Chain A
Amino acid sequence: MTREYIDAPPPVALGNLSATTHDAPPVAKDLTYERILDAREAEPHNWTTYYGDYDGKRFSPLDQINTENVKRLTPAFVFQSGSQGLHAGPSTYAFEAAPLVVDGVMYVSGWDGFVWCLDATNGQTLWQYKHAIPFDVSLCCGNVNRGVAVAEGKVFLATLNAHVVALDAENGEKIWDTVHGDVRAGESATVAPLVVKDKVIVGSSGGEFGTRGHLDAYDIETGERVWRCYMVPKPGEPGSETWPEDGEAWQRGGGNCWVTGTYDPELNLLYWGTGNPAPDFDGEVREGDNLYTDSVVAVNADNGEKVWHYQYTPHDLWDYDSNMENILFEKDGRKLLGHFDKNGYFFILDRTNGDLVSVTPFVDRINWGEIDADGKVTPSIYPEKEGEEVHFFPGPAGGKEWTHACFNPETELFYCPVQDTGSTIARRRREFKEGMPYWGAHVIVDSEDMKGSVSAFNTSGGEAWRWETDLPMCASVLTTAGDLVFAGEPSGWFNALDARTGEHLWRFQCGSGHHSSPTTYSVDGRQYIAVPVGWGAWVEGFLPGMMGGPHGSGIFVFALPEE
């Protein structure tokens, strides 16, 4: 007997079953490269690009919130998401993004392919986009995304399954979708894209799976790939002499580009940090310096050609990626950059040619080796013999993880979130197999005897002050012309410090640990501080002592009380 069925109601997009309004004002339509270029000076109320400006300072000229009144800071609104169904990394998702704001509209990515467009004054969702992410995508370090780029009426997203997607900034509808990497090779994408001129720059992820790292540029109108720059050379290319001859090591050598770079428009150079060589801890299978891993690579923004490089950790045996920001600043008429590396040293380079200006330690315990004033690296403790454990500081998460330092041009100080944690590691050789983790070691990061700080350094590398914490600091810091530094803790506290003295001025408990990049903006004359909160990601690597910390999924936005 044939059964008679009734018609089910038609399917709907899940976001339609919410208070989302499904449209946003066209504020991003005229957001051109030229506007982004001048944004800090011409429109300080906005945070238009990942670091707030191409120079990576994470500094805002806004000063309504200052050292005198910050104690009155209070939540303006909280945006919450939670998670839906069963998704990749159900225990590792984290909120790592830096919210962008253009004329009162916030654009922010979450984990698992989410992008939200919000009213930046009250958190009302204007639209959302959800890219479907495979459950089995290869992720070393959690289901995360560090943010979006916005320009020319579009929002650009790199997805965990290695696509680059352009969305209509007014409604979240997809405009183009280009495949950026090979998930079967262990590639993914977590980086916040960077728009430069008519291109959107996107780097690869997958360093723990033996990929070959690359930086790509896509046409912002069509999604067509304009150039690709591999960070591990093929035989015969410059730098190939730093890899074994006649070997296969270069094919899976790492050097991924999973954190947004900075850009000098006068020199037309991108300063992009590269990740660890692969396998992370087994150097015997990749003799040599292993260029261009663990480096800053100055790349011509028009054609992707390498112009110069500086390798912070040659022949890395400690997982000391150098993806972290290279902050551009000027001193005595020189164009310089500052970089806090995982290896525990603070480097200042001449950014016109890569010459070392100074190198100084920024974390108390460093025993993996030493870097002298000339930049010469002398390793001391490293995994060498099969199965024999060694213990070294800093552990593989580094003296500072990917989370960002900042620079305040008014105090002329850098502020760095410091992690002082060690790790026990033994070499464990394994064959390379595509798509499988390729570390060459077992790893146990310390859960005790750890500490952290926000430390301030002058432009010569001298420490000006530090604010010490019991737990390592695992979130980006933000500085403002209000003479403030904002810093989130793994315990959930969000703090304001006096940028000149380090004095603790204010804190708020957000209920989950911080592992994101707070930003600031103003709308109709009211300044806001926005911080995504959601503990997770590679906690076993940077702070296993907080593996049991509460998961969260909110954006807390603070302001002074309205009069």
Chain B
Amino acid sequence: MATAGQQELSAVISELGLDHQNKGTIGRLLNHGGLGQAEEGSDGRMRIQVRIPEDELTYSPSITVMPHAGELEIEFFNDDTNTHCAQVPSNGDYQWIWLPNGSRGKVTVTLDGPGYYWYNSNIGNDEGRGLMGAIVVLGDVPEEARLDRPPQPRP
């Protein structure tokens, strides 16, 4: 849930044109393409759809939240009139996919967070213009991997 402060920030960013291409600045400020939560299927795999809207050069949503570590299937839709791609971190190696104009394609990755990861379109300066997305993995490490000590205060 966005706080009032965050909503105000989003409004100011929009007012300044930082959530558009070639408006406030040359590109689009990273990670201002919304947030989506991956849904877990009966097979345990988490899934989300991510679009590249026309002339926005952003992944939408640009923040994907996984409820816990595991497999994530991202279905990309390129609604733009240019070719892009996605390089997505995964244990073993990055998974990389071409995303020609008007195409759709699925990428499945394994992430063992908690923590968050960046993915990107690693051609031209797609990254600098806005085509970087975050994948946030919630949760904790397994009980057996935690330190043998009482619960500690957190920030």
Cα–Cα, bound, A234→B147 (Å): 12
Would you call B144 an interface residue if the criterion is a C-beta within 8 Å of the partner chain's C-beta atoms? Answer: yes
**Interface window among A47-55, A325-333, A431-439, A537-545:** A431-439
Query: A261-293 toward B: CB 8 Å interface, digit per residue (1/0)?
Result: 000000000000000000000000000000000
Contacting pair B94 A130 (CB below 8 A):
yes
Please give the number of chain B residues whose Cβ is less than 8 angstroms from any Cβ of chain A in the complex.
55
A416 to B138, CA, bound (A): 45
Identity of the chain B residue whose Cβ is nearest the Cβ of A113 in the assembled complex: B91
Tell me whether A132 and B96 are in contact (CB under 8 A).
no
Q: How large is the interface on A (under 10, 10 to 19, 20 to 34, 35 or more residues)?
A: 35 or more
Q: Which chain A residues border B145 with CB–CB below 8 Å?
A: 162, 179-182
* B94 and A84 form a contact (CB under 8 A): yes
Q: Min CB distance, B93 to chain A, in Å?
A: 4
B90: Cβ under 8 A from any A Cβ:
yes
Which parts of B94-123 form the interface with A (CB within 8 Å)? 94-100, 102-120, 122
Task: Give min CB distance, A210 to chain B, whole Å.
Answer: 8
- Quick check: is B5 within 8 A (CB to CB) of the other chain? no
In the complex, which residues of chain A have a beta carbon less than 8 angstroms from the beta carbon of B141? 162, 179, 181-184
Return chain B residues, CB-CB under 8 Å to A225.
144
Stretch with Cβ within 8 A of B (4 or more), from A12-20, A342-350, A478-486:
A12-20
A561 CB-CB contact with B under 8 Å: no
Chain B residues lying within 8 Å of A248, measured Cβ to Cβ, are 150
CB neighbours of A433 from chain B (8 A): 152-155
| 8 Å CB contact of B112 from A161, A185, A436 | A161
- Tell which of A2-10, A102-110, A306-314, A394-402 binds the partner: A2-10
Is B59 positioned at the interface, with any CB of A under 8 Å from its CB?
no
Residues of B within 8 A of A181 (CB): 141, 145, 147
A1 lies within 8 A of chain B by Cβ: no
A5 to B141, CA, bound (A): 39
Q: How far is the CA of A7 from the CA of B102 in the complex (A)?
A: 9
Known pairs A6-B100, A433-B154, A436-B155; A14 contacts B148 (CB<8 A): no
Q: Indicate which residue in B109, B116, B149 contacts A135 across the interface (CB closer than 8 Å).
A: B116
Residue A211 at the chain B interface, CB threshold 8 Å: yes
Residue-wise, chain A 166-178 has the 8 Å CB interface mask toward B (1 for contact) of 0000001110010
Interface locus among B9-17, B21-29, B32-40, B75-83: B75-83
How distant is the Cα of A130 from the Cα of B111 in the complex, in angstroms?
12
What 3 pairs between A and B have smallest CB-CB spacing?
A134-B115, A8-B105, A179-B145
Q: List 24 A-B contacts (CB under 8 A).
A: A3-B79, A3-B102, A8-B100, A11-B95, A11-B105, A11-B107, A12-B95, A14-B87, A14-B95, A15-B93, A17-B96, A85-B127, A86-B120, A130-B89, A132-B91, A132-B110, A135-B116, A161-B112, A162-B141, A182-B140, A182-B147, A248-B150, A432-B152, A432-B153
List 4 other contacts, CB 8 Å, given A9-B105, A10-B105, A84-B94: A8-B76, A14-B87, A130-B93, A184-B140
